[in-house]
Amino acid sequence: MKKFVWNRMRGVILLIAVAVVSGAMAGCGASGGKPWLQMQYPELNEIRMPSYERVELDNGMIVYLVEDHEFPLIELSATIDVGSIYEDADKVGLGEMTGTVMRSGGTSTHGGDELDELVEARGMQLETWVGQTDGGAYLSAMKEDTQMGLDLLADILRNPVFPEDKIKLAKEQAKAEIARRNDDAMSIARREGMKAIFGADHPMARHTEYSTLARIARQDLVDFHADWFHPDRMYLVVIGDFDSERMVGMIDKAFAGWAPATRALPADPEIPDFPRTVNVVDKDDLTQTTVLMGHKGIRADDPNYAAIRVANRILGGGFATRLFNEVRSRQGLAYSVGSSAGTGYRYPGMFMAFTMTKSESSEKAVAAILAEIERMTVEPVTEAELATAQDGILNSDVFSYDSTREIMDRLVMFERYGYAPDFLDRYQAEVKAMTVDQVLAAAQAVWHPEQLTILGVGNYEDWDGDFSRFGPVTMVDIEIPEPALDIPEATEESLIAGKKLMQGAYEAVGGARMAALQGHFTRRVMSAEIQGMAMQFTIEETVQYPNRQYSLQKTQWGNGSQVLDGDKGWSKSGMGEKDLTAEEVTAAQNGLKTSYIGTFRNLDEFTFQALEPRIVEGVECYPVYASGVGDDYMILFLRADNLRLRMTQAPGMSPMTGAPVTMKVINDEYQDVDGMVISSKSRMLYDDELFAEIETTDFEANPAVDETMFTK
Amino acid sequence: MTGISKLIRVGVLLSLLVAASSVAAQTYLDLENQVQEFTLDNGVKFIVLEKHDVPVFSFRTMVNIGSANEVRGITGLSHILEHMAFKGTPEIGTKDYEAEKKAMAAEDVAFLALKAERIKGEHADPEKLAALQTAFDEAKDAAREFVVTNEFGRIIEENGGKGLNASTSSDVTRYHYKFPSNRLELWAYLEGSRMSHPVFREFYTEKDGPVTEERRGGVDNNPIGRLLEIFQNQMFMASGYHHSTIGYLSDIENVSRQNCQDYFDKNYVGSNMVVSIVGDVEFAEVQRLARKYFSGIKRGHPEPVETFEPKQLVEKRLVMRDPAQPVFIAGYHIEDQSHPDWPVYEVIADVLGQGRTSRLYKSLVKEQKVAVQAATFPGYPGSKYPTGMLIFAMPAKDKTGYDLEEATYAEIDRIVADGITADELQAVKQRARANFIRGLRTNGGMAEQLATYQTYSGDWSEMFRVVESIEAVTLDDVQRVAGEIFVPSNRTVAIIETDEDAS
C-alpha cells in the first residue's frame, strides 16, 4: 500500500483578513445616530485548519481523514466520478435508479430489507446516490459500530445485486414522481427553465419520462454500476472519533481487491450558449407567477470570477441587494427574488434570476429585474455598494472554516477539478483589491440581459402587460406523456386471463349476435381540426362477411371510395381509380378481422394476453394485448365495471405526415342495437393529440346490398 | 427570505425535535456542565455554551409567541411581526426618524380611512374608495422617502453574518444567524435594539407584498399547503391551532400598524424571550453586553392562552377535489409535549412511520406498493398545547388516497391490538441516542435545542433528559397509549381526490 501523508497544512495557522472594519457607510455624514459605525472590533481569534491526512490506496482511492474526538461518532462520505450525464439518452433515470437500488436492493450477503433492519436498529445512516455530475455514498454511525458500518458501506459499493423487486419499487417511486411533477409551480419552472436554457435533450436538462423508465432493465443497472463505480474514481472523507492509522488499515482492507477502472472518463457535455427565448407555461389554477431567467455563465478559473461574484452580491445574492430592495421591499412585488452569479467549478455556471409574484404583476416584475441587471452592465456600482459587498464576502469568509465536513468537501472538489488548494486565498485577495471598474467590466463580459432566456409559469390570461415585449412567446406544453404500456413476456396465466376477459366481453356486448351477422351498414360522422381548419366528413361502410367491404368517404371537397372484394380491391377518388396492391388487400382483409365486430367474430384467431390494470381517463380498465392477426398488435382496454371496450390502442400512421404514431380510439358513449353494444361517440387520438371526434349515426344489421357497389 | 413555509416545514421541524430529543445523559454530563445561564432583570433568559474551535458563534432569539396566541382578526400577525423585525429601529433604517414618525402616522390615518370604506364590500362607494386609495398610496410614498432600505440586513451581511433568517410557527417565533465572534457587541446592539424598540416601517408594503406572496406560494398555489390549512381548520375548531400561521388573507389585508405595535408591546417582553448563544464567546462578555443592550426590553405580563380544544366526539373527513395528485392525511389528537405520555407518542410515531423499517413504509411502500411515501409526525401543528399526531402518505401512481387509508388503518389496528415488538422498541431507543448526539455537533443545532427546551419546558437542561425519557417507555405504555389515541372518533382525515377539471 502506498501511503502518502499529506499534511502540509497540519498545524499551520491561517490568519484571514477578517478584521475588516465595516466601511460601507464611512464618510456618509454624521454618524452620531449610528452607533454601529463607531464600534471597534477586536482581532478575530485564529482560524485553525483542521489537521487531516490524505492517503492514496493501492487501488487508486483517495482517502482524507480528520480525527475529531468530541463525540463518539464516525462519518464517511464518498464522492464518486459518476453521474446521470453518462447515461443513455433513451434511458434517462438509469443513473439515479442505480444509486437508489444499490442501497435498497442490498448485496449478496445482506438483502435490502435485512440491510434496512441492520442499519436502523443501530441508528446508523447509510445511503448511496447518483446525481447529475457525481455520485456518492454516506455513512454515519456510532463509534462502536465503525467496523460494521464500514463493511456495509464497502459491500453496497462493491457488490450490489439489484434484485428485480427493488428495481420495480424504484420504478414505482419514479413513476409517482413523474405523475406529481406538475403539482408544484417552482419545480415546473426549474425543470422547464433548464430545458429552455440548455435545450430539452441536453444531459443537464433532460429528465425521466415513463418511456425512458420502461426501457431500463436490470442488466442496465448492473452494467452502469460496473462501468462507473471504481475505487480510483472515489474520494472518501472520514471524520470522527477514530485513530487515523487504524482507520486507514480498516478502509484498505474493506476495499482491497476492488478493480480500478479500465477506461478514462468521457468528456463533459458542452454547455450551449443560445440566444433568448421567451417561454410560458400556462396553468390556470395559479394566482402566482414563478419566473426563472438564465443563460450560460463562467467557470471559476475565468479571470472574471471574483468580480462577477462581487457583482452578484450587489445585484441579487443576499438580503440587502438591489433586487431584494427594489422588487421585494420597495415595490412589494415578491416574497422571493434573487439571482445567482453564474459560476461553476466544473461547468460554466448558469447566470440566473428568479422571482415569484402575483399574476397581475408578472410582466412588471420581470421588467424590474431585467432593468436592474441591465443597470449593472451600463453604469458602475457605487463605492459604498462595492465596500458592502467586499466586507460581506471577506467578513463571512471565516465561515468557510466552521465545518470540517465543508472544508474537506472543498478540498476534494479542488482536487477533482484541478484547482489549487489555495484557491480561496487568492479569491479573497482579488475581492479585497476589487474596483468598481472591474465589477462593471465583469458584468459586461459575463451578463447579457438581452440574452436571458425567460420562463414563466402561471395563469397567463391574468398577467399584466404583454409578455411578448421580451420576445416572441412560446407556449410550453407540460402535459405528461402517458406511459408506454409495459408488455411483459406472456405467461400461461396471463394468456388464460386474457382469453377469459375477452370471453367476458363477448358475453357483455352481444358477441354471439355479432358472430351471426352476415353484414352491416354503418354511417359515421368525423369532425376534425386539421391545421386550424374545422373539417367534417362522413364515412359510409357496407360490410358483407367474410371478406367484402365497400367504404365511401364524403368530404366537402368530394368523395372517395375503397372496395375490398375477396382477394382483390380498388379505390376511387377525384384523381382517378386504381387497384389495391397485394399488401393493401391483405391490410384491408386484416382490417375487417381486427375491427370491433370483426374481433368478436374471430376470437379464436387471436392470442390475448392480460396486462396490469390501468386507469384510462379516470376509468379503471383491464388491458388485453391482442396479436396473431396480421403483423400488428392492438391493446383493448376493457372497462373494469362492465367489460365494454373503453379504448383501443394500436400502432398507426399519421394521416398528415405519414409518420408512425400511436393511435387510440376512446369510446365515450355506447348504444344497443339488436342486443349488440356498439360505440356511439368516440374520440381518435394520434400520439395523445386529439385528431377527430366520431359519432356513429346509423347502424343497420344485414342490410340489402346494392351489388353495383362491388362493380368497378 | 424571512419566514418559513409554516405548514409543511413544521412537520420537518418537529421531526428534528424528535430526533434531537434523546440522550445518553451520563456521557454528556460534561457538555451539560459547560452550559451557563443568566437572566436579566426584565426576565430575558440567556443560555451560553462556549466553544472556541472556530472564531464564530450562532444564536437563537426565541420568542414564546406564535400564531396560537392570535385571535380572530389578527391571524397571521405573529408572522407579519417577524417580517417587521427586519425593518430597523429609530437608529437603523431611517434618514430622519422624527420626520419619518410623522409620515408613518399620516400613513396610518390614510390606511384606516381606506379600510373603513373598503370593509363595506359591495356597499363601498367606488369613487370614495379610489380617492382613499390614492391618498393612502401617496402617504405610503411619503413615508418611504425616509427609509434606508434594508439597512438592518445590510449591516449584518457586510459584517459577515450568514444564514440571516427567522421563522414563525404556531408555538414560537425564532430569529437567527451566525456571526464572526469579534462582532459580538455589534450583534448585541442589533438584536437588543430590534427586540426592545423596533420600528415597523414599510408595514403596509411588506404585508400586502412579500407576506401575501408568501401565502400565495405556500398555501393558495400549493395543493398540499392548501389541504393542510383546511385540515388544520377542521381538526382544531377551538384552540389556537385552528388557523394556519400564515393567517387568513382578509386579516393580512386589514391588520394595522397599531395592531402590530399592540401585539408587540404585549408579547415581546422579557419573560417571553430566550436567547441562546453557542460558539467563540466569553460568558462574562455576553453578560456585560446583554445588560447593556437588552435591558430596554419591557418585563411585561403576557397573557396565557385560555381556549383549549374540546374532546373530539366524531370523526371528521374532508375531500379536496383538485387537479393535483392524491394525498392522504390523518390526524389524531394527542396531549402537549409536557405530558408524561409525550415520549410514548414519539416511540409510536417512529415505529409507525419514520424510516425504511417503519410499519407504514414496510407495508404500504415495500409490500403493497400502494404508496411511495408514508410518514408520521407527533406534534402537528405545534407541541406547546394539546396537538395532533399526523400521518401523511402519498399514493403510488394510479392509486388513490382511499387505497392508502385502508392500508394505514390496518397497520394502526395491529399496533392497538398487539403493540410493538421488543426489537422495535430497542431500535427506537438506539436511534434516539444516535440522533441526539448528531444534533449536538453544530453551533446552530445546539443553540436551537437549548432555546427550544428552555422555551417549551422552562429548563434547557431537559434536552439532556430526553433520551432517558425514551428509555423509560415500555411495551405496555405503547399499547395503552395507542389504544387511547387511535380511535375513529379522535380522527380527522383529509384526502386529495384527483380531478383534472376541478378548480
Full-model pTM: 0.83
* pLDDT at res. A19: 36
What's chain A's average pLDDT?
Answer: 90
Instruction: Report the gap between the CA of B288 and the closest CA in chain A (Å).
Output: 16
* pLDDT at res. B28: 63
Mutate to test the interface with A, among B157, B202, B497 (most CBs of A within 10 A): B157
Q: What is the mean pLDDT of residues A427-448?
A: 97
| Cα gap B324→B317, rounded to integer Å | 19
Do the chains contact at A123 and B180, CB–CB below 8 Å? Answer: no
Q: What is the mean pLDDT of residues A671-681?
A: 92
Instruction: Report the gap between the CA of B398 and the closest CA in chain A (Å).
Output: 7
* pLDDT at res. B19: 40
Do the chains contact at A388 and B158, CB–CB below 8 Å? Answer: yes
Flag whether pLDDT at B215 surpasses 90: yes
Flag whether pLDDT at B15 surpasses 60: no
Q: What is the mean pLDDT of residues B105-128?
A: 96
pLDDT in tens, A637-655: 999 999 999 999 988 877 7
* pLDDT at res. A13: 39
Chain B: residue whose CA lies nearest to A178: B397
Do the chains contact at B55 and A178, CB–CB below 8 Å? Answer: no
Chain A: residue whose CA lies nearest to B151: A320
Q: From chain B, pick out residues whose CB is under 8 angstroms from the CB of A174.
A: none
Flag whether pLDDT at A6 surpasses 70: no
Flag whether pLDDT at A107 surpasses 90: yes
Q: From chain B, pick out residues whose CB is under 8 angstroms from the CB of A324.
A: 1, 150
What's chain B's average pLDDT?
Answer: 93
The alpha carbon dihedral of A322, A324, A325, A330 has a sign of positive
Nearest to B150 among A19, A325, A615 (CB): A325
Do the chains contact at B210 and A48, CB–CB below 8 Å? Answer: no
Flag whether pLDDT at B386 surpasses 60: yes
C-alpha cell at B453: 427546551
Residue type, A267: A
* pLDDT at res. A21: 37
pLDDT grade, residue B304 (50/70/90)? Answer: confident
Give the A:B interface size as CB pairs under 8 Å. Answer: 232
Do the chains contact at A73 and B157, CB–CB below 8 Å? Answer: no
Helix (H) or strand (E) holding A541, with range, is strand A533-544
Do the chains contact at B395 and A357, CB–CB below 8 Å? Answer: no
C-alpha cell at A613: 390494470
C-alpha cell at A292: 426563472
The secondary structure of chain A in percent helix, strand, coil, rounded to multiples of 5, reads 35, 30, 35
Question: Are B408 and B393 contacting, i.e. CB atoms less than 8 angstroms apart?
Answer: yes
* pLDDT at res. B18: 38
If you write DSSP's letter for every residue of A111-164 in order, what string do you get? BHHHHHHHHHHTT-EEEEEE-SS-EEEEEEEEGGGHHHHHHHHHHHHH-B---H
Residues 453-482 in B contacting A (C-alpha not used; CB under 8 Å): none
Instruction: Report the gap between the CA of A167 and the closest CA in chain B (Å).
Output: 11
C-alpha cell at A602: 374471430
Q: What is the mean pLDDT of residues A44-73?
A: 93
Nearest to B222 among A44, A184, A403 (CB): A184
pLDDT in tens, A508-519: 999 999 999 999
Q: From chain B, pick out residues whose CB is under 8 angstroms from the CB of A183.
A: 223-224, 324-325
* pLDDT at res. A535: 85
- B159 interfaces chain A, CB cutoff of 8 Å: yes
Question: Are A633 and A650 contacting, i.e. CB atoms less than 8 angstroms apart?
Answer: yes
* pLDDT at res. B29: 65
3-class SS of residue A488: coil
Residue bearing the bigger pLDDT, B398 or A351: A351
Do the chains contact at A320 and B149, CB–CB below 8 Å? Answer: yes
* pLDDT at res. B22: 37
* pLDDT at res. A563: 92
* pLDDT at res. B10: 35
ipTM: 0.90
Q: From chain B, pick out residues whose CB is under 8 angstroms from the CB of A336.
A: 1, 213, 217
Q: Write phi, then psi, for B371 (nearest 5 degrees).
A: -125, 160
pLDDT in tens, B473-493: 999 999 999 999 999 999 999
Mutate to test the interface with B, among A69, A393, A395, A478 (most CBs of B within 10 A): A395
pLDDT grade, residue A486 (50/70/90)? Answer: low
pLDDT in tens, A271-328: 988 899 999 999 999 999 999 999 999 999 999 999 999 999 999 998 889 999 999 9
pLDDT grade, residue B237 (50/70/90)? Answer: very high
* pLDDT at res. B6: 36
* pLDDT at res. A689: 81
Taken as a whole, chain B contains a residue count of 503
Do the chains contact at A334 and B440, CB–CB below 8 Å? Answer: no
Do the chains contact at A358 and B52, CB–CB below 8 Å? Answer: no
Do the chains contact at A332 and B356, CB–CB below 8 Å? Answer: no
Chain A: residue whose CA lies nearest to B95: A33
Flag whether pLDDT at B54 surpasses 70: yes
Rg (C-alpha) for chain B, rounded Å, is 24
Q: What is the mean pLDDT of residues B294-300?
A: 95
Q: From chain A, pick out residues whose CB is under 8 angstroms from the CB of B365.
A: 169
Residue type, A110: H
Integer angstrom CA distances of residue A24 from A21, A391, B159: 9, 8, 10
* pLDDT at res. A583: 87
Q: What is the mean pLDDT of residues A538-558?
A: 89
Do the chains contact at A45 and B280, CB–CB below 8 Å? Answer: yes
Residues 275-334 in B contacting A (C-alpha not used; CB under 8 Å): 280, 323-325
B261-292 residues labelled b (16+ CB within 10 A) or e (exposed): bebbebbbbbbbbbbbbbbbbebeebeebbee
Q: What is the mean pLDDT of residues B105-109?
A: 98
Residue type, A40: Q
pLDDT in tens, B240-254: 999 999 999 999 999
Do the chains contact at A24 and B154, CB–CB below 8 Å? Answer: yes
Q: Where are the beta strands (DSSP E) in B136-172?
A: 162-168
The secondary structure of chain B in percent helix, strand, coil, rounded to multiples of 5, reads 50, 15, 30
Do the chains contact at B1 and A403, CB–CB below 8 Å? Answer: no
Helix (H) or strand (E) holding A118, with range, is helix A112-121
Mutate to test the interface with A, among B2, B213, B354, B471 (most CBs of A within 10 A): B213
- Residue written as grid cell 401523511: B392
* pLDDT at res. A484: 67
DSSP classification of residue A226: H
Residues 123-142 in B contacting A (C-alpha not used; CB under 8 Å): none
Chain B: residue whose CA lies nearest to A403: B442
DSSP classification of residue A108: S
- Residue written as grid cell 407495508: B363
* pLDDT at res. A17: 36
Flag whether pLDDT at A187 surpasses 90: yes
* pLDDT at res. A618: 82
pLDDT grade, residue A149 (50/70/90)? Answer: very high
User: Domains in chain A and their CATH numbers?
Assistant: 53-254 (3.30.830.10), 271-401+419-475 (3.30.830.10), 492-710 (2.50.20.10)
Q: What is the mean pLDDT of residues A652-680?
A: 86
* pLDDT at res. A223: 97
3-class SS of residue A286: coil
Residue type, B354: Q
The pLDDT > 70 percentage for chain A reads 95
Least trusted range by pLDDT, from A494-503, A576-585, B432-441: A576-585
DSSP classification of residue A310: H
Flag whether pLDDT at A116 surpasses 50: yes
Nearest Cα residue to A7 out of A47, A46, A55: A55
Half-sphere exposure of B391 (CA within 13 A, CB side): 35
Integer angstrom CA distances of residue A50 from A12, A360, A463, A516, B56: 9, 53, 54, 89, 15
Instruction: Report the gap between the CA of B502 and the closest CA in chain A (Å).
Output: 9
Q: Where are the beta strands (DSSP E) in B83-161?
A: none
C-alpha cell at B77: 400577525
Nearest to B325 among A141, A180, A614 (CB): A180
Instruction: Report the gap between the CA of B267 and the closest CA in chain A (Å).
Output: 26
pLDDT grade, residue B385 (50/70/90)? Answer: very high
| Cα gap A663→A655, rounded to integer Å | 11
* pLDDT at res. B227: 96
Flag whether pLDDT at B13 surpasses 70: no
* pLDDT at res. B503: 64
Question: Are A182 and A62 contacting, i.e. CB atoms less than 8 angstroms apart?
Answer: no
Q: What is the mean pLDDT of residues B177-205?
A: 97
